[in-house]
Structure 1
């Protein structure tokens, strides 16, 4: 996705605040008391404080987010404070307009929930929750693209709520078995990708794409250029004959869904 820059006409102001923030944070590295940032580098800790000063000067509501969120946006922009701040402020603006109540109600996305196309169950060997999406169960939303986007937000928030303390990422299995052109929804796929990359950065740990038919690869070629480089590194196409073995490298049998040779039944995302 294209890099988000500061608002037009605000660059010089942002630069001035950047310099001021540097002075204010010089010599100060603040670590949360719960130790959540213990795996941060010294450079990250310094830039977290710097970025927080910047975004709070532009949006007071930024004070409500924790340092882990600030760090995720920083990591998504390779620790570039200006780019990460612009990305974060865009997220805050989107959140306020798209999810004004703070969450998505199941009643808003009843049609997508009825398709039962996303399930969750289990944790991988790193403690990351597992989500399974069945592409053949997805059809374009008759209520429009925004309704599907709300469904994506609902699923991501549900998944995040299942994360063990200290965990920030999830693992996804995209099962393309049975997918056909009736399921092809490029606008929906790109909308979901935008939400994941722009508004939930550094949440995806790994994406396994399984049972991908030849027809799907034509659509994949359209989507691929819109995937940022950090996300591309996390995507693995799995050969059918190596499916169970590949998944077992990262997921214990006791935590693997039954349909892939494991022991856990899948649970629809709305019931998790």
Structure 2
């Protein structure tokens, strides 16, 4: 297998992209050709939430829109979800990001590859399930690692441009080649799922599960009920015989790693490009 670009430590890990506030003083947006009614709801969501937690003023309209969409544009439900996020954020990331030192053991396993984009311009993330060792993991560190990876992924997205085609999501491949019972981590899976669904809503576009062994399905049956209905539709099981066709339909050959039949050469761990910016 070619050397792979993995999530690696950096001296100053600043994974969160801070965007300028653009609330338009509560008025519907007119600059992106989007749904004016939806932007009006975003303004309403901001007013309701900020009255309960002033920290809401630091979140941009695109963030609020994701929470609104995650709750099917129900202001009350979206506000409750957003308030939970605003309480979680400073506790989970006191410095505004997760330092490398706090996830050192997870980083050492090199189980997440971040490289390339799909045909829709979404950053690709490749998770190697057989490199996860629950017997050696600390659950709190694992939770921090999930945040670390998600923030690094979000940082690879383009900044808001005000266009209808604004890309806000990423795509992933969960590669379970070599996965066995010793890699099964129900508590870890549920923790990761909760973080993604609760605090990074509308960020995931889809996940391709590939090289899935039969034994994995027992774990999947336990986890599946905890996946919300919107997210369930984003998980796609890919049979080995359909692997290259499915991934090539989603990812251009030039952006698809060689290990999946594409042309993308993954840099060695010594290359500067491996350091996440």
What is the TM-score of this pair, normalised by structure 2? 0.83
**CA distance change for structure 1 residues 217 and 143 in 2, over 3 Å: closer, same or farther?**
closer
2-side partners of 1:270 and 1:72: how far apart?
29
> How far apart are the structure 1 equivalents of 2:37 and 2:224?
32
Secondary structure in structure 1 of the residue aligned to 2:254: coil
Other-structure match for 1:245? 245
- Between the aligned partners of 2:223 and 2:238, the Cα distance in structure 1 is 18
Deviations 1:158-201, CA, capped at 9 Å, x for gaps: 11111123321000000011001111110000000000000000
Q: Give, in whole Å, the separation in 1 of the partners of 2:56 and 2:135.
A: 33
Partner Cα separation in structure 2 for residue 208 and residue 32 of structure 1: 36
Aligned residue in 1 for 2:85: 91
What residue is the counterpart of 1:181 in the other structure? 181
Please, which moves more after superposition, 47-56 or 257-266? 257-266
Q: Is the 8 A contact 1:141 1:147 kept in 2?
A: no
Given that 1:170 and 1:205 are in contact with CA atoms closer than 8 Å, whether structure 2 keeps it comes out as yes
Whole-angstrom distance in 2 between the partners of 1:141 and 1:162:
31
**Structure 2 match to 1:136:** 130
Q: Judge conservation of contact 1:127–1:164 (CA < 8 Å) in 2.
A: no
Q: When the two structures are aligned, how many residues end up with a matched partner?
A: 241
Please tell me the root mean square deviation across aligned C-alpha atoms, in Å: 1.7
**1:25-83 residue CA offsets vs partner (Å, 9 max, x unmatched):** xxx742175x3xx33x2331121010000111111111011100000000000000000
| 2:152 corresponding residue in structure 1 | 158
The CA deviation at 1:265 is: 3.1
Unaligned segments of structure 1, at least 5 residues: 1-27
Offset at 1:97?
Answer: 1.1
* Structure with the bigger percentage of helix: 1
* Divergent runs of 4+, >2 A: 141-144, 265-272
- TM-score, normalised with respect to structure 1: 0.85
- Indicate how the Cα distance of structure 1 residues 213 and 156 shifts in structure 2: closer, same or farther if over 3 A, else same: same
